[in-house]
A and B are shown apart, each in its own frame.
Chain A
């Protein structure tokens, strides 16, 4: 049978199944095949908060969304074109996101009376006509997998477990993906269990062959490789990129990396990743609590290490006092906050941008610190290096605000050339800086940074602490004028960083837009995708994205005032809006949603268009 081949410019697939169905692995493999093929990709896994929710139930559904295209893309996509539903729960949990007309590939074997009942389906949706508005492909994935593995010697249960590979094979055929790497991957993954490796490969191939022969798929699709900048690429998630950025910062600064951390979703993967890289001299310390994690990191910084602590919002709350100590002692420290939905425990696996004001102000006293926020998963690498640069150069704690969406999402990353990474070498104090003896708080006139004299340096023995200290000498001081001066000096040091960061860049191709859409952090992708849509429809809109939230780039006020309207979408109730309004007296229009999910490009495009139209 010859089948029709149709050209598409982009596709969004969502694999959904039970936590035990191996959907993340399936998604990862499809991503790898797609990357190898040369499409641009963006992915977003979505797993249940429960480690093992009861099988077949709605809370147990795990999914993986993947957007790939023949051009560069910015988000994992708003709505899937294809849903692979491994069971009724997966269908029910995801159907609302699926536009009419999209393809549904349903594993009919799992649509049993019992499984339907578990999720509250009175009738089988595959049979009752309720899915008529979608293109439904009914595929008995489980039984065909078992059939394909007959004679393999595997038990029925073990054979069934390979059904995700059958699905992967089918999808790989449907989108013309290269398969060699997956076969090799399965051989390696199950190197110690050759039976299982063979079965998975057989299931994978059976899925492919099924696509070729079945009548339920009459069309297959081709998506041409994207024209991306030349270079070597790999797919990377935000958490791994952030970990690599910290290792790179350690190498570039010559400071050994010390991570003090306590496990917390969604930041733990940074701890896991760094723990693998002891060859780089990386010390990872799993502390007894969040406070000890940051305390140990600060102690290591005092000793001349690159001290880092990684956490999420609840952990930042606990660390606040120690971060204040780092502000007072003016020691370098990086606090990574992978933001998640709050308040309190909130929704640990869901994303939010609600810790900005805590990062700014969540300490006692006047305690300013720089805040850096990455814009995409791969940007976490550069943002970590930037945080380390500011921390070491200005001897200050730096807050690095990632979030759950960046942490777990992934995209292709054009690998930087190691030789091009910034030089972060630090000079420790080695000699006395004053006739009266060593003055630990005598500042560099340019940066206002104090000398970093580490234990082991002869003649520079000194004591620091959280008590107010005299300007220069650093002795305990309760002098009112001195305190006023020190408060202002610490503020001036952080404010002065504005001179050392790039100005806020505006993207306005026509140069005459009257509306500016501004963002920070992980909203970059959806905002940029929305801006493209608006422009493609003839709308004029300028876009700018803040990477440094404190201090703000020196030209921020100027940029904001140059537009009639400034729209600021945030996944909070307007935290950056509040700061910008207060600081620049600009009437920011906020667009705020806190659903634990990233914005959709289409939704933002509508909002931008509305603001343009209201002009």
Chain B
């Protein structure tokens, strides 16, 4: 059972729960082989760990393949409109502190049509968990390039290649000074669940980017991170308090680059104290931002894990506190008194 501060107001289940408790009776309709299945299974098998009453959990989504997610969860769910899930979830979470609210969104939903709501949710820090399934393509509309597709992407809408530079969701979230920013991958259930655990425990908005394979329109988009031959050299695991080393026998290390930012160097080429120790709790977002730039050029080195995890009061708790403060100062509102406020006069 969880004792997370973020969930302290959410009622706990009496009985022990299992994965089955969170499966709805709806047939799952993603393409066979879609990465969404793995994420769904990971979430369903993780939630019993929180021990929250199922009826106090809500999944809110926008539009896109990933946004079908709430239908498959035996919790409350709201499949809304394109890009707006963070806004809808904000109203829900801000008015109901007894709920655990999850937003499921995709790269098009969150970063294109809903980009404005995403950045404002992040800066506002409402108690929400945002799971951003990034498959770097539009799946539901059948394969146009997305705001995370690489430049030059050939799709139906870009037969000569896409022209616009993609967003790096982590850089964007850190730039918006989100209080919790992490990246994980659909195929690594253990890592995915460890990140979900920290996200659930976090008070405020947590953004979890989940690399998700769309085997129909953008297969193998994350292959360098999955292929046993390459993944060790590419994946940069971020663990708070640990020096950032990776590769065969820790042969590569991350250090501060002379021109600002960070860089990858052979571990043997630098003194051990030069190796960057990951500090996700640093209130200054600069270093987290620098780490998010490591996979530029794409997939040379990809940090995975929690980039940033800092404490800042959540919007909903501050809002509730203002209400309490107003009542404490002058008592609960009285309607008759309100109507009589200002200059009044009597006739007759």
Contact = CB atoms under 8 A, between A and B. Distances in A.
Interface of A: 32, 35-36, 38, 181, 225, 228-235, 244, 247-248, 251, 256, 258, 260, 277-283, 285, 287-289, 291-292, 295-305, 307, 321-322, 324-325, 329, 415-416, 418, 455-467, 475-476
B88 A295 contact: yes
Given A278-B323, A465-B79, A234 B96 contact: no
B116 interface: yes
A297 B57 CA distance: 19
Contacts of A256: 95
B54 interface: yes
B323 A455 contact: no
A278 B91 contact: no
A457 B90 CA distance: 20
A281 B320 CA distance: 9
A256 B338 CA distance: 17
A244 B339 CA distance: 7
B55 interface: yes
A38 B91 contact: no
B84 A322 contact: yes
Nearest to B83: A291
B87 A38 contact: no
Given A32-B343, A455-B56, A476-B71, A277 B333 contact: yes
Nearest to A419: B336
Contact of B345 (A38, A282, A297, A305): A38
A301 B94 CA distance: 12
B16 interface: no
B92 A302 contact: yes
A103 to B, nearest CB: 27
Contacts, number: 207
A456 B55 contact: yes
Contacts of B325: 278
A296 B81 contact: no
A36 B346 CA distance: 9
Tell me the interface secondary structure of chain A in the complex: mixed
A321 B81 contact: yes
Interface in B73-93: 73-81, 84, 86-93
Given A279-B330, A299-B78, A305-B95, A461 B54 contact: yes
Interface string B115-142: 0110010000000000000000000000
A300 B95 contact: yes
B282 interface: no
Contact of A299 (B53, B70, B90, B319): B90
Nearest to A181: B343
> Which 7 A-B pairs have CB atoms at the shortest separation, nearest pair first?
A230-B348, A465-B79, A296-B91, A299-B91, A295-B87, A280-B333, A463-B77
Interface residues of B, number: 61
Given A292-B120, A300-B92, A467-B79, A234 B87 contact: no
A463 B343 contact: no
Contacts of A36: 343, 345
Contacts of B110: none
Interface of B: 11, 24, 26, 53-58, 60, 63, 70-71, 73-81, 84, 86-96, 98-99, 116-117, 120, 319, 322-323, 325-327, 330-333, 335-336, 338-340, 342-348
A304 B58 CA distance: 13
A278 B86 CA distance: 24
A256 B79 CA distance: 24
12 contacts: A234-B342, A258-B95, A279-B332, A287-B90, A289-B116, A296-B91, A299-B88, A305-B95, A418-B335, A455-B92, A455-B99, A466-B81
B47 to A, nearest CB: 13
Given A36-B345, A416-B339, A457-B55, 5 more contacts: A247-B338, A278-B326, A291-B84, A300-B91, A464-B79
Given A232-B344, A280-B333, A459 B55 contact: yes
A460 B300 CA distance: 48
Given A277-B338, A465-B80, A302 B88 contact: yes
A21 B173 CA distance: 48
Contact of B78 (A228, A291, A302, A304): A302
Given A277-B338, A463-B70, A247 B77 contact: no
Contacts of B330: 279
A450 to B, nearest CB: 15
Nearest to B10: A456
Nearest to A251: B335
A467 B80 CA distance: 9
A244 B338 contact: yes
Nearest to A252: B335
B99 A303 contact: yes
Nearest to B73: A463
Most buried by B among A235, A301, A456, A463: A463
Contacts of A297: 91
Given A285-B94, A302-B88, A231 B347 contact: yes
B344 to A, nearest CB: 5
A279 B333 contact: yes
A464 B80 CA distance: 8
A461 B55 contact: yes
A325 B78 CA distance: 11
Given A292-B84, A321-B81, A418 B336 contact: yes
Contacts of A476: 26, 71
Contact of B94 (A38, A181, A283): A283
Given A455-B55, A463-B70, A231 B346 contact: yes
Contacts of B57: 455
A296 B120 CA distance: 12
Contacts of A300: 91-92, 94-95
Contact of B340 (A181, A279, A415): A415
Given A292-B116, A299-B88, A455-B58, A466 B75 contact: no
A465 B78 contact: yes
Given A296-B94, A455-B96, A465-B80, A231 B348 contact: yes
Contacts of A181: 343
B87 A291 contact: yes
